[in-house]
Every structure is written in C-alpha cells, then in structure tokens.
Amino acid sequence: MINKINEHIEKWWRSLIITTTKRSAEEVANLLLEKWYKAYFLHSEVDTLERFEIIKKLRSWRIDILVWVNLLREWIDIPEVTFIWILDADNEWFLRSTTALVQIIWRAARNPNSEVALYADKITKSMYQAIMETYRRRTIQQKYNKKHWITPSIAQSNIKNLEAARDDEIDIFQKKENKKKLKKMTKKEKEMILKNLEEQLKIAIEAWEFEKAAELRDQIKEINEN
C-alpha cells in the first residue's frame, strides 16, 4: 500500500483508503502521519463542517491521503483521487457487498489514471462479481470511446462547487426544524414512526442493503434521542 501511495504522490495524485471501523481509520491515519505523510481520517464523529474542510484540503493538495470509513454515505465525488485501497474487502456482511464494492470502485472512474486495490484474506463471491462487473463496464466504455474518438480525461476540480455542496448538506436550519417537530410529537406518534422505520431496517438488512440500513439506524437514533 505504501509503495503504491508513493507512486501516486510522485505524480501529484491523491489516495483514498477505505476502512470498516472508526478505530481502524484513526489507526491507519496515525500510522501514515508517523511516516510523515500528509494524511487525515474521516468518520461519523468528525463534525460536518470540518469534514468538508478536510475534503477541500485534499482537493487543493494540502492533504495527500484520506482514510475514510464509509465513502458511500457521503455522496461526494473526489476526481483528484487516483488510488483507492479498500481494506477488509472480504467482509461481505459490512459494506462489502457486490453493490457496495462496485459503487466504491466506480468512484475511481472519475479519473482515467485511477487504480483500486481490494485487500483481503480471500476472494469472496462479492469481490469476484464486483471485479467482473468492473471489467464488463470498462469493456463497454472502451468500445464506445474508440467508436466516437473519445479520450478519457479527469473531471475538473471546482472548490466552489464543493463549498456549495457543503452548504446544501449542512442545512442547519432544516435540522433545527426537524428537531423541533420531533419534540412536539406525542409518544404514540413517535412509537408509530419507530415501528415503521424498524420494519424498513429489518427488510434492508435481509436484502443486504447496508447503506440504506445505516441511514435508517441514524433516523431511529435521532427519534430516540429527541
């Protein structure tokens, strides 16, 4: 991993390491910092405002490596990233399903110089299917590019767009309004909503839709806390 990161840093490219836990994200980031790399970690406990500032630093070359727990829930594209290292790729039960892996891999497709590495003890069915799907899509894209004389190029970075996205994501006023509505709800109303959300959560888990399940868990937690 270090050798590959060095290779990309030498070309002024950036790297993204995807972990499964907050602790591992912090440990990997600390390991890189000890080796004098410009690295930082991101997970749910990092404040939203700080999160966007960290991503901004990555896009403006002040950070070379970002260690992230769950890229999929952020819905942010970072076209400057050319190397994605997916740790615990064989943990199919947690954000490593075929769909999740394909989505992470194709975040790298925003840059024609990008590479993705799946780090695992064994090749799982999800890993195999994700790799084959990637090759299938790439073949289709290459044929299309050749037919239409298209040369792939990196999506242009725009820090202002990132700042606009930050403002939309934060939406502090809306969050405050939602909390007010929750506080005004009766106990019975909250119980009805919780029951519905818990049923949706069960269905999402059974269908291995862990990204959706994570969002539902957050909603349930917010209602219970208010």
Alpha carbon 172 to its chain's center: 22
CA distances from 19 to 25, 124, 192 (A): 6, 17, 35
pLDDT, residue 123, reads 93
Burial class (CB in 10 A: 0-12, 13-18, 19+), 17: buried
* Identity at 89, one-letter amino acid code: A
Task: Specify the 3-state DSSP secondary structure of 15.
Answer: strand
Q: How far apart are CA 166 and CA 158, in angstroms?
A: 13
Q: Which residues are paired to 40 by β-bridges?
A: 66
Query: Helix H segments across 16-156?
Result: 22-34, 48-59, 98-107, 125-147
For residue 5 the two structure tokens come to 């990161």
DSSP 115: E
Q: Is the pLDDT of residue 127 over 90?
A: yes
Locus of tokens 């994501």: 169
Expressed in percent and rounded to 5, the helix, strand and coil fractions of the chain are 60, 10, 30
Tokens of residue 34, six digits = 């000890």
The sign of the dihedral angle between the CA atoms of 19, 221, 181, 50 is: negative
Query: How many Cβ atoms are within 10 Å of 83's Cβ, its own excluded?
Result: 23
* pLDDT more than 70, % of the chain: 77
pLDDT in tens, 47-93: 766 777 888 888 887 889 999 886 655 555 677 888 999 999 998 87
Q: Which residues contact 213 (CB under 8 A, 6 or more apart)?
A: 201, 204, 205
CA-closest candidate to residue 86, choices 169, 16, 172: 16
pLDDT per residue over 165-194, tens digit each? 455 544 444 455 555 566 666 777 677 777
pLDDT above 60 (res 201) = yes
The per-residue pLDDT for range 136-175, each reduced to its tens digit, is: 988 998 898 899 898 877 765 555 555 554 555 444 444 5
